[in-house]
Structure 1
């Protein structure tokens, strides 16, 4: 028998659900349980929120046995590989609380006809502002000056000898032109920079200039990486392309580790091809203790936090809440990245 009931949502309207049993929502770490429960409390009996009972892969497999909707682990520690997808026979929808989906086996989910959604655009302004701020810091050697001052020095002459630059006079190249890349280009352009970009599908409406990738790298005083990590983009900015950079170029990576491998970036810094780098992402996260990047005085380090502003986090929880709620309601979900029908259906 189908049970019918109404759910009053805090915004003042009522949704009507018809179903035989509540949807089983499995939320993976690291999002705190109290946050997730609060997001979906308005759904009442229409949904049952669960969490892995134990840590590690064994706990994940057990929790997946009857999960219908999964909110993924954006850290990648609990990946949904093909084996995990096979362990979830009722899986109907996966929502990533992030832009990247590299912690999922998207091909395996697509083969199962499971729509996968991300949170595209939630942190576009936050990441773009970080990229611009990092470029400012590199151009004016702000981090080095701070370190030397804290050590008791007065490095005025040393910093001037580093030939500090004004950002507006730099040629900026943006690799990737999705929600984040286009916002990065817009902000640099507003500062007066000459901005170019590369993406696999040029955007006729873009205000920035499209260039082939090698041409972009060779003509960028500041190269900003904002492209997703895929099999095609892994190692995209490796030793050969880094060698194309102009003298004293700067690198800003807000994309993913592995697009510009850490070893290649270190080699470019040591050779002098790179005058500095601002890195929010790394091949291995957390960055291991004792890693050479931690001690390099021309590197600005950030713990994968470029998009971590208050507004970005509010945007993120709103996207996750609205998309999962739409799935439970029987409406189509947004931001599906694997071409599967966005109408979520129970298995």
Structure 2
């Protein structure tokens, strides 16, 4: 029997058919009539498999799950699964897979590049030179080699950060909710100790109830004076007002952000006005290499699902063998 796949990514329908066409006669592709919630709910009753929306606009919350009696599998084409009700999907017997690991090198490279840019004041020097200056001795530039680097979260991205920063001679420590036996030489510290002992603090942890607002004014105040924060995780993990206050006071020397509470970042957001903030449009993972790995991961899992083989990267504890529901 043909599996009916509902594709939600914000791409033209022709592009989606080209990407997913390798499933052949085993799958029939559909897209919502419009990119809004009402159209999503209208399309869900016929869906056996959903390929999720990485933009977060179309999510499967508890109400959406109730509208999908045939749903057997959700493949999210991203690492983050924000917005999906994983518990409701698990209770319905629907496994949810992400694409863990496909962007680890890309994001870790961005974290490394952003850290170097902050410590060496690359954006500041570029800005002043374009204005006619010659800021050879204006800034207190620092070397990354030998710096204390703390990594918050130790999934694939955190592990890649430990490997890359360590290769440049940094003293790398990490915190995660579960210590890891293979840490690429990084030392495990509790979160408060890590925060207080890092010249560069890299956030690479998933957004969850317990990590939302994890870096509030109190925790940011524990960072060493003159340290820098690099956030490649999710915007709500950091209190934005507290971060700006720490930058304005001089307690923090800089911050590099690839993620925000609201995306795209609002035109009037005060982050845009701070010269101590390096802004990136949630593009740390956007490389051709990472995109290729993501597409292949999605296709491999969809092929496994329709063939009755276990899928990989299930994040909600459901059975990885996909079974058709009627």
Corresponding residue of 1:25: 5
Paired with 2:299 and 2:182, the residues of 1 have a C-alpha distance of 32
- Per the TM alignment, residue 119 of structure 1 is displaced from its structure 2 partner at its CA by 0.1
* 3-state SS, counterpart of residue 122 of structure 1: coil
Corresponding residue of 2:193: 215
Corresponding residue of 1:42: 22
Paired with 1:308 and 1:91, the residues of 2 have a C-alpha distance of 30
Q: Encode CA deviations 1:83-130: one digit per residue, 9 max, x unaligned.
A: 111111111100111111112111111111100000000000000000
Q: Encode CA deviations 1:152-178: one digit per residue, 9 max, x unaligned.
A: 22222323xxx1000012100000000
When structure 1 is superposed on structure 2, of 215-224 and 81-90 the one drifting more is 81-90
Paired with 2:292 and 2:226, the residues of 1 have a C-alpha distance of 38
Residue 37 (structure 2) pairs with residue 60 (structure 1) = no
Q: Encode CA deviations 1:157-212: one digit per residue, 9 max, x unaligned.
A: 323xxx10000121000000000100001100000000000001101232200000
- Give 4+ residue runs of structure 1 displaced > 3 Å after superposition: none
Paired with 2:103 and 2:262, the residues of 1 have a C-alpha distance of 22
Paired with 2:92 and 2:210, the residues of 1 have a C-alpha distance of 23
Paired with 2:303 and 2:59, the residues of 1 have a C-alpha distance of 23
Unaligned runs of 5+ in 1: 1-18
Corresponding residue of 1:291: 269
Corresponding residue of 2:119: 139
Q: Is the 8 A contact 1:197 1:210 kept in 2?
A: yes
Q: Is the 8 A contact 1:279 1:300 kept in 2?
A: yes
TM-score (norm 2): 0.97
Corresponding residue of 1:319: 297
Q: Is the 8 A contact 1:222 1:252 kept in 2?
A: yes
- Per the TM alignment, residue 262 of structure 1 is displaced from its structure 2 partner at its CA by 1.5
Unaligned runs of 5+ in 2: none
Structure-to-structure mapping, 1:170-209, within 5 angstroms: 170-206=147-183, 207-209=185-187
Q: Is the 8 A contact 1:249 1:274 kept in 2?
A: yes
Paired with 1:151 and 1:106, the residues of 2 have a C-alpha distance of 51
Paired with 2:17 and 2:115, the residues of 1 have a C-alpha distance of 39
Corresponding residue of 2:63: 83
Corresponding residue of 1:10: none
Paired with 2:199 and 2:11, the residues of 1 have a C-alpha distance of 38
Q: Is the 8 A contact 1:261 1:283 kept in 2?
A: no
Paired with 2:274 and 2:230, the residues of 1 have a C-alpha distance of 15
Corresponding residue of 1:339: 317
Paired with 1:124 and 1:109, the residues of 2 have a C-alpha distance of 26
* 3-state SS, counterpart of residue 62 of structure 1: helix
Among 73, 81, 85, which residue is 1:93 paired with?
73
Corresponding residue of 1:169: 146
Paired with 1:249 and 1:272, the residues of 2 have a C-alpha distance of 10
Paired with 1:280 and 1:86, the residues of 2 have a C-alpha distance of 34
Among 203, 226, 230, which residue is 1:225 paired with?
203
- Per the TM alignment, residue 151 of structure 1 is displaced from its structure 2 partner at its CA by 2.1
- Per the TM alignment, residue 315 of structure 1 is displaced from its structure 2 partner at its CA by 0.3
Paired with 1:73 and 1:268, the residues of 2 have a C-alpha distance of 35
When structure 1 is superposed on structure 2, of 203-212 and 169-178 the one drifting more is 203-212
Tell which structure's C-alpha radius of gyration is larger. 1
Corresponding residue of 1:262: 240
When structure 1 is superposed on structure 2, of 146-155 and 298-307 the one drifting more is 146-155
When structure 1 is superposed on structure 2, of 200-209 and 274-283 the one drifting more is 200-209
Q: Is the 8 A contact 1:74 1:103 kept in 2?
A: no
Residue 127 (structure 2) pairs with residue 127 (structure 1) = no
